[in-house]
Amino acid sequence: MSTREHIDTVIVGAGQAGLATAYYLGRAGVPCLVLDEHDRVGDQWRRRYDSLLLNTPAQYDSLPGWAFPAPRWTFPSSTDMGDYLEAYAGRFAIDVRHGTPVTSIEQQADGTWVVCCDGAELAARNVVVAIGGERHPKVPALAAEVDPGIRQLHSSTYRNPGQLLPGPVLVVGAGQSGADLAQEAQRAGHQTWLSGRVRGQSPTPVDSRRAHVLLPVLWFLANHVLTTSTPAGRRMKPVVRMGGTPLVRTRTTDLDAAGVTRVEARTEGTEGGLPRLADGQVLDVANIIWCTGFRQDFSLIRPSVTGEDGWPVDEAGVVPGASGLYFVGLLFQRGFYSMLIGGAWRDARRIAEHIAGRPPVDLGERTSARVG
């Protein structure tokens, strides 16, 4: 026996994309329920490393209907962002059910959807998957070969240098988090290596005077040029989804100034339990921080809607052949802006408009019903 409820639209995920979609659905008069696996809205931000600051200033970090409550050209912390999302849900009376991880999303014979979560079932006309594609930490298999005396952390579990053992640090992965954490470890007194190739970087520090002129140009490019509607955007999309985003806040000059040893060689194996780089170097370190990204996993959706690359086969968030199923918040869903906080509203509004234009389906009352 389980409990089944009936609701027009279920949104899975209470991040910026899910909340922006709920905002637009509310304005369109479409009832919706947001399912959040966390205890509080915004916890996914609060659990990131302590020193994290957003790469975009406050004026580019707003959701629809309410500007981010901070001065322009200040950079919110991850805690600030989490608190803003929580306040946003309250401000617009968005119906969020906390502590509700979703176990499956399955289409029924009549085209409707059933969302299962902890003994409860939700029957819905529409389901919006707003969990992104980067929820499961990705660590290479060689981690199992590392000497157990070496402390290993993934960027998702790293909070501050207090977690590190005394001694040298190897940071694997030269993306944004890798650069941030390598610089932090070096400044905390650890000899630090950063392994991996940098895939471009911001031409100027984000908090510099030059950025005041350049950032509006970059924002325009992210919203109107680097999209799936242009050749440049279509070339960039697979690169971004493979983890090819450029450095923004911490750049190579910052790493060099801090004293971080940068090596383009990948960490490809072990020797005597120590990490071995592709150039043959074996590093005698006490800590490894894996900034190797996340893997996408949409296996909870049945039937499967993913392609060979593991990403949903969608048309700007709408899934052909799976009527009533939508995505928001995917990396480069319709453009570089899709993964930016202040850009999430564009995809959210489009999906909400699509849902509002669909013919109604009689799902019964919202009240719970017992099903066997």
Q: What is the pLDDT of residues 165-191, one digit of tens each?
A: 999 999 999 999 999 999 999 999 999
Q: Tell me the C-alpha distance between 56 and 219, whole Å.
A: 10
User: What pLDDT is attached to residue 278?
Assistant: 97
In order of their start, the domains of the chain are 5-133+296-357 (3.50.50.60), 138-202+246-290 (3.50.50.60)
- The whole-model pTM stands at 0.91
Q: Which phi and psi (to 5°) does residue 253 adopt?
A: -65, -35
CB 172 within 8 A of CB 310: no
Other CB atoms within 10 A of residue 271 CB: 12
Residue 371 near residue 2 (C-beta atoms within 8 A): yes
Which residues are bridge partners to 97 per DSSP?
Answer: 35
pLDDT tens for each residue of 17-37? 999 999 999 999 999 999 999
Closest to 193 (Cα-Cα) out of 287, 280, 105: 287
Q: Are 295 and 186 in contact (CB under 8 A)?
A: no
pLDDT in tens, 234-247: 999 988 888 767 89
The whole-number average pLDDT for the span 321-346 is 93
Whole-angstrom distance, CA of residue 169 vs CA of residue 296 = 28
Of 37, 46, 39, 44, give the one whose Cα is nearest residue 11. 37
191 alpha-carbon distance from chain centroid: 30
Tell me the backbone φ, ψ of residue 191, rounded to 5 degrees. Answer: -60, 125
Distance CA 3, CA 92 (A): 28
Determine contact, residues 177/198, Cβ cutoff 8 Å.
no
- Mean pLDDT value across the chain: 92
- Tell me, what's the pLDDT at 142? 96
Structure tokens at 48: 């990131």
| Cα 232 to Cα 287: distance, rounded to the nearest angstrom | 39
Q: What is the pLDDT of residue 133?
A: 61
Token pair 């980067």 is found at 134
